[in-house]
Structure 1
Amino acid sequence: MFNPNVVVKNIVNQPTAQAVLALFARILMAYIFIVAGYGKLTAYSATVGYMEAMGVPGAMLPLTIFVELGGGLALLFGFQARFAALGLGIFSIITAFLFHGGADDATNFMKNIAMAGGLFYLMLYGAGKFSIDHAIEK
């Protein structure tokens, strides 16, 4: 009997496929954080205003930029990826509640929660073969 789950499992259990998929997954996860961190850096005062309007001190913006941009780049290159994924996962949950907790922003709330799930999965399984972490651990 045909089982698509087994077919996919047989494909992704190949070492090369695992390495490529892990890299692709890291790139996709990193993208949103790099773009968001860079956007906050280039629109600094507007972001401070938004944060303060949401009840978050604007003085937290440098830390936010560091977490998003630094964590995103760490994921992209697979450097300390487990630690970066843990931090970004926690960050995603916190920001879900602080900035997207209203009923009118449920989609962004769910997006942040889903990203946290993916990040925690990355934390558990690591960056993969095509990463700085793999080169260091080898």
Structure 2
Amino acid sequence: MPLSLFSTLLLHAGRVILASLFILGGLNKIADPQASVVMMEATGLPLPGLAIYAVILLELGLGLAVALGGAVASGRLVAPAALALTLYTLAVNVFFHPFWAMEGVQAQTELSLFFKNVSVMGGLLAIAGLYLDRSGAPDRP
């Protein structure tokens, strides 16, 4: 059954809003890459000076693929991009929000950020599910 016009608008708005987290993150990293390099170094990630450029490309490229939806490759990139961002967000959680290794207020803050990211992952999975096997068209059954 095709989606109604209102449902289609909600889907497009949700996709853009969710993807904005990654697009703005990539743009912020372009504006101040050293801040992200310092955070990567603190977690012990290898080659942070190179990794920052991969992260920028990932956040911007995949974020734009999700946001633009049907405007890019007839929407065929939405599901793979959303799934890739889900895996990226999982990695961010493991490396940057290890609440299990902290105590007190810091642990509570990281726990909150961790589960905020889990919610983002849920939204990405929902979008991937909607676009999988649909040739990117939100009005297709």
1:88-99 counterparts in 2 under 5 A? 88-99=85-96
Say how many residue pairs are matched.
121
Code of the residue aligned with 2:54 in structure 1: it is L
1:27-38 counterparts in 2 under 5 A? 27-38=16-27
Partner of 2:52: 61
Runs of 4+ in 1 over 4 A off after TM superposition: none
- Distance in 2, Cα, partners of 1:109 & 1:33: 16
Structure 2, unaligned stretches of length 5 or more?
100-106
- Distance in 2, Cα, partners of 1:48 & 1:97: 17
Partner of 1:87: 84
TM-score, normalised by the number of residues in structure 1? 0.79
Code of the residue aligned with 2:60 in structure 1: it is L
Partner of 1:113: 118
CA positional deviation for 1:14: 5.7
Structure 1, unaligned stretches of length 5 or more?
1-12
Partner of 2:102: none
What per-residue deviation string (whole Å, max 9, x for no partner) do you get for residues 31-77 of structure 1?
A: 11011011011111221111111111302111111111111111110
Q: 2:32 aligns with which of 36, 43, 55?
A: 43
Fraction of identical pairs, as percent: 29
TM-score, normalised by the number of residues in structure 2? 0.77
Partner of 1:22: 11
Q: 1:74 aligns with which of 65, 74, 77?
A: 65
RMSD of equivalent CA atoms: 2.4
